[in-house]
Amino acid sequence: MSLLFLILSTIILVISIVWFIRRESSVKVRKILETFSGRESLTPAAFYQRYFMKLGIAEEIVIGVREILEKQFDVDMSRLQAEDDFSKNLSFFYDFDSMADVELVLAIEAHFHIKISDVEAEKTHTIYELIQLISNKVEYSDGL
């Protein structure tokens, strides 16, 4: 009797886990579609040209940040805009992974060989602010 109970409990647990993962995945997909729907898809170069080229920010920084975002969030960022806000329309990414913000900062620090303080990270809300922060830090570290 106890072996049967153990087997049934294990099956129920596995089914519950699969259901939870699928549910989370479908919610994430829906949020992504809602956020990016109706937006023009931009290549990395077009994203740079539209939002950052006139500001004198290096193309490698902009493209690097977008690639990091795609990798960290496992999402196509071709419809990303500079004004997208981590505390508003992109906040759902943190709903699915409570460590996403920490992992994102660590990935950026490793990629660009910079250090972002907790205060700087907390003050950075938009894609524009993130790219500007990184650009300033890269320029400063290059100037030393």
Residues 16 and 45 in one domain: no
What does the alpha-carbon distance between residue 124 and residue 48 come to, in Å, rounded to a whole number? 19
Residues 106 and 60 in one domain: yes
Summarize pLDDT for 107-137 with one digit per residue, the tens: 999 999 999 999 999 999 999 999 999 999 9
- Report which secondary-structure segment, H or E, holds 58: none
Residues 60 and 127 in one domain: yes
- Residue 108 structural domain: 40-143
Residues 45 and 25 in one domain: no
Question: What does pTM read for this prediction?
Answer: 0.78
Residues 29 and 61 in one domain: no
Residues 124 and 135 in one domain: yes
Give the chain's radius of gyration (CA, Å). Answer: 19
Residues 31 and 89 in one domain: no
Residues 73 and 139 in one domain: yes
CA count, 13 A, side-chain hemisphere, 41: 3
Residues 47 and 29 in one domain: no
Question: Which token pair is 107?
Answer: 């990935």
Closest CA to 32 of 106, 89, 85: 89
Residues 44 and 32 in one domain: no
Summarize pLDDT for 20-42 with one digit per residue, the tens: 656 666 777 788 888 899 999 99
Residues whose CB falls within 8 Å of the CB of residue 14, separated by 6 or more in sequence, listed in order? none
**How many separate domains does the chain show?**
2
